[in-house]
Every structure is written in C-alpha cells, then in structure tokens.
A and B are shown apart, each in its own frame.
Chain A
Amino acid sequence: EDQVTQSPEALRLQEGESSSLNCSYTVSGLRGLFWYRQDPGKGPEFLFTLYSAGEEKEKERLKATLTKKESFLHITAPKPEDSATYLCAVQASPPLVFGKGTRLSVIA
C-alpha cells in the first residue's frame, strides 16, 4: 500500500528564517511526487512534480528535491504570505495518494 508521511505536522518560522519540510514515502513504482499548497478554505493548489531521484525544481522562495525515499521542500527567506499547509502526494497508478500536510506559519 502506498504511504506518505509528512513532518513536521506544524512549523512556525520568523520572516526570513529558512527551513525545510519533509515528505517520506513508500510506493511501488513511483511515477511522480507532487507538492501542493493549500490555503484555509480553499482547495490544494499544484506547485511541483518530481520524477526521479536527484531532480530539483524551484519556484520563487520554494525548492523541491527528491531522493529514492523522501522529498524536501526548502523554503528560503520565507514571508508571511508563504503561510499555508503544504501537501505532498505520490503516484504509482492513479490516483494521487496524499500525506496529511505540514502547516506552515511565517511570523512578521
């Protein structure tokens, strides 16, 4: 059974304080690892897809990396508007299997 575990459950950062979120996974035949952002009262919003170990993708202050067992979402010099829940998901065959997310709060 495909499993996704995210840590920490919640993270509180000062503005400008860089950190990383972790997503560890167990899946047979990974076809993609997805990162989403979810704001309160809204649906998840797609950020990145990673396909193979060693791959990296960046978007503004976010950088996602992938190894054979886990993925990291690095947040550099975060701002209050980066506050959200970040979800990780894996796909071996449809559909996506999601982790429970990391709630990020960035304090000015």
Chain B
Amino acid sequence: DAGVIQSPRHEVTEMGQEVTLRCKPISGHDYLFWYRQTMMRGLELLIYFNNNVPIDDSGMPEDRFSAKMPNASFSTLKIQPSEPRDSAVYFCASSFGSGEGAASNYGYTFGSGTRLTVV
C-alpha cells in the first residue's frame, strides 16, 4: 500500500481564495482524521470520520472550513474564503478502528501533509 496520500504537497494562495485539500486513506481503514499543525499550537484535530460519516467537527475553527468524505477512498478539506491565519501544515491520517484494541498496535498512519500559505 502507498500509505495515506495527500495533495497538493504545497499550496500558496491569496487571501479570499478557495482552497481544497485532498486525501486518499489506506484501503480498509475505517477512520479518517484531519489535523492542522502550527509551531504555536502543535497538532490540532479539525474533524474525523468513521465509515465516511463525520463524527466530531468541533475542532473546525470557523464556518469557512468544511470537510467531506463522499466514499471510503477520498476526503476533502475546503477553506472558503482563506485567510493568512489559516497558514499551516494540514495532515490527513487514517486508522483501522479508533486506535483501541488491536488497532492501537499500529496507531494512526499520517500522510505527508499539505503546507498551506495564504498571502
């Protein structure tokens, strides 16, 4: 398996533009997580899905952020309109199970991230 695949790797956009980040989880994984990483705040959870259904989106900072998972092999995180404070590295991760039991022996598998810069 190629692991969790994220695209694009880098994105530079102007304030006010729409940004769409993409993620392909590992085949067979039933949980998908979107995290954001900054120097100041570290890794913060934005939203997670179980079997394509959003379970907890309390970490989504504002209505400008939205996420979808139309099928088991694809998820998007959209920011509209983007602002400079959204600049960060956005990670997608997947797991088989929530991390408990046997699944916790492997933890979450993270993608390489998308570095977003909003100017």
- Residue ranges of A at the interface with B (Cβ–Cβ < 8 Å): 31-32, 34, 36, 41-46, 49, 51, 87, 91, 93-101
Measured CA separation A103–B31 after assembly (Å): 29
Measured CA separation A7–B58 after assembly (Å): 28
Stretch among B11-19, B60-68, B75-83, B106-114 lining the A interface: B106-114
Residues of A within 8 A of B45 (CB): 95-97
Residues of A within 8 A of B110 (CB): 43-45
The secondary-structure label for the interface of chain A is: loop
| Cβ-defined partner of A43 (8 Å) among B55, B93, B105, B106 | B93
Residues of B within 8 A of A91 (CB): 98-100, 104
Find residues 71-108 in chain B having any chain A CB closer than 8 Å to their own CB: 91, 93, 98-100, 104-108
The answer to whether B4 has its CB under 8 Å from any CB of chain A is yes
Measured CB to CB, the nearest residue on chain A to B115 is A41
Measured CB to CB, the nearest residue on chain B to A46 is B107
Evaluate contact between B107 and A101: CB separation under 8 angstroms.
Answer: no
Evaluate contact between A98 and B43: CB separation under 8 angstroms.
Answer: yes
Measured CA separation A51–B35 after assembly (Å): 23
A-B contact pairs, 27 of them (CB 8 A): A31-B99, A32-B104, A34-B99, A36-B107, A41-B112, A42-B112, A42-B113, A43-B4, A43-B91, A43-B110, A43-B111, A44-B43, A44-B91, A46-B106, A46-B107, A49-B104, A87-B43, A91-B100, A93-B98, A94-B50, A94-B99, A95-B48, A96-B99, A98-B35, A99-B42, A100-B42, A101-B42
Measured CA separation A32–B41 after assembly (Å): 22
Evaluate contact between A95 and B33: CB separation under 8 angstroms.
Answer: yes
